[in-house]
Structure 1
């Protein structure tokens, strides 16, 4: 480490000590709550304090004013500010403004004039050449106008980057691992701060870690597409411990790999919290050898207790008992991930319009996850015609039996089988599907 960098870290340490000594514990906790209300996590607050200790000395009004300006006026993501906490100490009254006619022409041609104006107040361009070269770089590498606009809005300092030195190597690394140009544009625009991460210290080690864990580049690519945050931080400690917690519970490597590939964010939590969720799933009676065990862990980890209670209350309003709710969750964990409107819409149609018993739906929870407009309503219309013509009997083929199977089965076994007695079925079914488009 260079002497200059050591001196800088020493100075930051002294400032941090000074700030903490001058602040009571209650004041510190109050500032933490203010930042949390602005959308920061505990980790982001610590990152900001580590970079600029003075950010914890700002008044509550100052913090709220700055965050309101950047997030609500400039449409920045709140999670961007912790990485540039010096922004918090800037004067709101004396901020610099850049004349519109001095903006790089590229920002105008890309429809980014307003975004660049906003960014320019805090990212000072000595000449328009650098931002022009950055925008041209993205365009030449397959980024759409929407991609570029999103990147500039969420990470304005990217306009000060050296495209060949700092941006190109990261894009080339991702492409070398199998990501297409479209994939890369999607990943970068979804998490633009990836561009400020060190390729050698963060991005490559993170990719290698997950690749070794998943034992497949194909699965690693799939996991990163689902959560680009995998490349933003060092997740090794939490992820490794959480994988071990699942193994200790009796979960197979195949199911762990499935979960890590399809919902990697579930593993990005403290081991204490993860262990608590696993214990809760065990208490519910899930079989650790079942794929539903890891699905339940994923869903519970990503759901607050208040949201869980709210879902339970919704099902109870439809007459489900707590045992029926737990039974449905064990059979089909997805039923607790459906939105409140989705649950209410499906239950209202099946119970009030189609006359199904609410407890029957509890025994067939897959019904909750089916599309109301594209599956349930069109097939129910066909089912009602067949019942009215006496071509099927409700005690022979139930509505649930008609709703659950895949499209091919439904057309062959229900629609086409009765096309002579009810030739209007296919047209009716298609009309209902068209209404859903």
Structure 2
């Protein structure tokens, strides 16, 4: 058996070399070891040989990826697979598109091209997904060709189109819910959700609470996974967000639901406790979250570093930080510390800064900050301005080669 495996893989190696598809001998040795360890019959090895050879020569997969994909499907004859590739090519799929599709969903080349694939492609084209947009749609949601056209795809697309309106928005929604993958293993997909038991009930919950169709459409385009949450959990989270003071008619309500849903109860409470440990009260936490729901999506390390810097090092009041939660979305290295260093330097020179609150200075947009604290002091403190500009540029990866262009 082992000799047969060696002979089979040697044949593949020679064939792949002739097509410039084998990069190194090392990859071949690893593949040989993989098959040698498998307890396969001669018939299975022969079928695997055909499958691997076809995936390499006709689909463009590397030898290693082809062997990996062959564990998920087997080609008995190449007639159907050839017909699938011909069909995809006729509808605008390039060789690269086909390679991507087959790698992500190998079973597609074993499907009946006339009964399973063609009707779906024609439906997508009827919606305006033509040219490069068709393979882009399919390759981003590979299992879409495996789902029932009448029972899953059409009902889902009709529902989505009712909220997102345009083809462009529909494509955006589908792209936002690209498959979650580990290697080429698909674990979750937009069309795999139970439309009747999950998606529709969650939308109904939002409508009942007073969320507008426009805002539901935005959620579908920006964060459609939110609507795939377990129905009971979704209702509980929505109710909790309302009790925190959010109005369902505002988009911030949906962003808050998103934050809490993404984290889950355990991580949510852990991050909340971390913020409170730096001096926030329950009321101040609620205020900060209502002003900026994204703060809870920051990592624990980011939250800890930001609060330690602002409260302990810059000596700002926790309540002031709670009033400016957008700071959590900024970078300590690229924004906050360069600004703080400049302000301290200017004050040490006795220059007038109008006694503005530090928290406000750190929060304002870059253009306004530089018009107030950089441009006016170019002549009086050129060295401080140079240090500030260098810090900002270096943190953004611009480096010293741009120093000569500084406006001083």
In the superposition, the TM-score normalised over structure 2's length comes to: 0.70
After superposition, residues 38-437 of structure 1 pair within 5 angstroms as: 96-97=44-45, 102=50, 103-104=52-53, 107=56, 110-127=60-77, 137=88, 141-142=93-94, 144=96, 148-149=99-100, 151-161=101-111, 166-167=116-117, 170=120, 173-174=123-124, 177=127, 185=135, 187-228=137-178, 229-233=189-193, 235-236=195-196, 238-393=198-353, 396-424=355-383, 425=385, 428-437=388-397
- Distance between the aligned counterparts of 2:85 and 2:394, measured in 1? 41
- Give the corresponding residue for 1:13: none
Against the structure 1 CA distance between its residues 115 and 271, is the aligned structure 2 distance closer, same or farther, given a 3 Å change threshold?
same
Structure 1 residues 309-362: Cα deviation after superposition (integer angstroms, max 9, x where no partner): 111122133222222222211221111111112212322333344333333212
For the Cα contact (< 8 Å) 2:92–2:132, is it kept in 1?
no
Structure 1 residues 205-226: Cα deviation after superposition (integer angstroms, max 9, x where no partner): 3112111133444433332221
- Distance between the aligned counterparts of 2:104 and 2:194, measured in 1? 22
Quote how far apart the aligned CAs of 1:134 are.
5.9
Tell me whether 96-105 or 265-274 shows the greater mean CA deviation: 96-105
For the Cα contact (< 8 Å) 2:137–2:171, is it kept in 1?
no
For the Cα contact (< 8 Å) 1:378–1:433, is it kept in 2?
no
- Give the corresponding residue for 2:13: none
For the Cα contact (< 8 Å) 1:328–1:365, is it kept in 2?
yes
SS of 2:374's equivalent in the other structure is helix
Against the structure 1 CA distance between its residues 396 and 289, is the aligned structure 2 distance closer, same or farther, given a 3 Å change threshold?
farther
Quote how far apart the aligned CAs of 1:285 are.
2.2
Q: How many residues align?
A: 345
Against the structure 1 CA distance between its residues 191 and 403, is the aligned structure 2 distance closer, same or farther, given a 3 Å change threshold?
farther
Against the structure 1 CA distance between its residues 246 and 209, is the aligned structure 2 distance closer, same or farther, given a 3 Å change threshold?
closer
- Distance between the aligned counterparts of 1:420 and 1:179, measured in 2? 58
Quote how far apart the aligned CAs of 1:367 are.
0.8
Quote how far apart the aligned CAs of 1:142 are.
4.6
- Give the corresponding residue for 1:48: none
Quote how far apart the aligned CAs of 1:284 are.
1.7
Structure 1 residues 177-232: Cα deviation after superposition (integer angstroms, max 9, x where no partner): 45586665555444322221233442233112111133444433332221244444
Quote how far apart the aligned CAs of 1:366 are.
1.1
For the Cα contact (< 8 Å) 2:47–2:74, is it kept in 1?
no
Q: What is the Cα-based RMSD across aligned positions, in Å?
A: 3.7
Q: What are structure 2's unaligned runs of at least 5 residues?
A: 1-29, 32-37, 179-188, 398-408
- Distance between the aligned counterparts of 2:198 and 2:190, measured in 1? 12
Against the structure 1 CA distance between its residues 328 and 127, is the aligned structure 2 distance closer, same or farther, given a 3 Å change threshold?
same
Against the structure 1 CA distance between its residues 309 and 184, is the aligned structure 2 distance closer, same or farther, given a 3 Å change threshold?
farther
SS of 1:141's equivalent in the other structure is coil
Structure 1 residues 55-78: Cα deviation after superposition (integer angstroms, max 9, x where no partner): xxxxxxxxxxxxxxxxxx99xxxx
Structure 1 residues 369-428: Cα deviation after superposition (integer angstroms, max 9, x where no partner): 2233443344444434433334454x7333433333334333434333433333452663
Against the structure 1 CA distance between its residues 407 and 163, is the aligned structure 2 distance closer, same or farther, given a 3 Å change threshold?
farther
Quote how far apart the aligned CAs of 1:130 are.
5.7
Q: What are structure 1's unaligned runs of at least 5 residues?
A: 1-72, 75-91
- Distance between the aligned counterparts of 1:259 and 1:363, measured in 2? 27
For the Cα contact (< 8 Å) 2:92–2:134, is it kept in 1?
no
Tell me whether 218-227 or 405-414 shows the greater mean CA deviation: 405-414
Structure 1 residues 139-181: Cα deviation after superposition (integer angstroms, max 9, x where no partner): 9625748x845x4454221232456775466456546545586
- Distance between the aligned counterparts of 1:291 and 1:164, measured in 2? 44
- Distance between the aligned counterparts of 1:381 and 1:184, measured in 2? 52
- Distance between the aligned counterparts of 2:170 and 2:280, measured in 1? 40
